[in-house]
Amino acid sequence: EVQLVESGGGLVQPGSPLKLSCAASGFTFSSNWLNWIRQAPGKGLEWVASINPDGSSTYYPDTVKGRFVVSKDNAKNTGYLQMNNLRSEDTAMYYCANGGYGYWGQGVMVTVSS
Amino acid sequence: DIVMTQGVLPNPVPSGESASITCRSSKSLVYKDGKTYLNWFLQRPGQSPQLLTYWMSTRASGVSDRFSGSGSGTYFTLKISRVRAEDAGVYYCQQVREYPRTFGGGTKLELK
C-alpha cells in the first residue's frame, strides 16, 4: 500500500525556519518525482515545490522561490521541504504528493504567527 | 503563468442527476506529444485531494466511470453522472503543462 506521511509542522514566529518531512512507502521513491502543495485555511490549493527523482532539478513558484528548498533522500525514502523566513501568508496545511499526484499524504499544519 | 479559471455549479444538485464542472486555461495545455496536461481532483470535507483524471480524460486507478473528463486545448469539462452523496466536495483542475503548476480556484458540489 502506498503511503505518504508528512511531519514537522507547528506554530512558528514570522521570520523563523521550519523543515517538513514526507516519509514514503509502498512504491519506488527513488524513481518518482515529489511535489509539495499547500492550502491556506478555507482557501484553494497552491503548488509549492517539485523535485525530480534524483534530486538534481527543483521547481518553485515565485511566492516561495528563494525561501523554500525541496530535497529528497532516496536512501531514506523521505522528502523534505525546508522553509525559511516564514511569513503569515505561509500559514497553511502542507501536503506532499507523488509525481503524478495520484497519492497524497494527510497533510501537516504550519501556522506562522507572533 | 497559466491562469486556471473554474466555473460555478448551480447548487445543490439533485442526487441521481448529472453535473458538469468547467475549467478554462489561459494557454493551451496540449504538449508536443499530443497529450493535454490537465488533472482533475476532488477534495472531500476534511480530506486530502484525490486525483480523478489526468491527461484531461484518463481516469485514475479506482475512480468510478461516472467521472469523465473532456475538452479542447483551453476549455475543459468534468462530467459526473448519476451524482451520489459521496461526490460532494470541492473539485479542482490543475495544469501540469509547464511550471509553475497552477490550480483553478475550485468548484463546490453540494447535493440535494
Whether the Cβ atoms of residue A94 and residue A85 lie closer than 8 Å to each other: no
Window 12-71 of A, Cβ < 8 Å to B: 35, 37, 44-47, 50, 59-62
Query: How far apart are alpha carbons A54 and A69 in whole angstroms?
Result: 15
Pick the closest to residue B40 from B25, B27, B59 (CA basis): B59
CB contact under 8 Å between A95 and B48, yes or no, is yes
Residue B11 has pLDDT above 90, yes or no: no
pLDDT of residue A48: 98
Across the range B52-61, mean pLDDT stands at 98
Instruction: Grade residue B53 by pLDDT with cuts at 50, 70 and 90.
Output: very high
pLDDT digits (tens, 9 = 90+) for A12-39: 999 999 999 999 999 999 999 999 999 9
What whole-number distance in Å separates Cα of residue B73 and Cα of residue B26? 10
H/E stretch holding A61: none
Q: Residues A36-63: what's their mean pLDDT?
A: 98
- pLDDT tens, residue by residue, A80-107: 999 999 999 999 999 999 999 999 999 9
Q: Amino acid letter at B99?
A: Y
pLDDT over 90 at B14, yes or no? yes
Query: What is the amino acid identity at position A52?
Result: N
Average pLDDT over residues B21-44: 98
Looking at every residue in chain B, the average pLDDT score rounds to: 97
Cβ atoms < 10 Å from Cβ of B68: 18
Q: Give the number of A-B residue pairs with CB atoms closer than 8 Å.
A: 51
* A107–B48 C-beta distance less than 8 A: yes
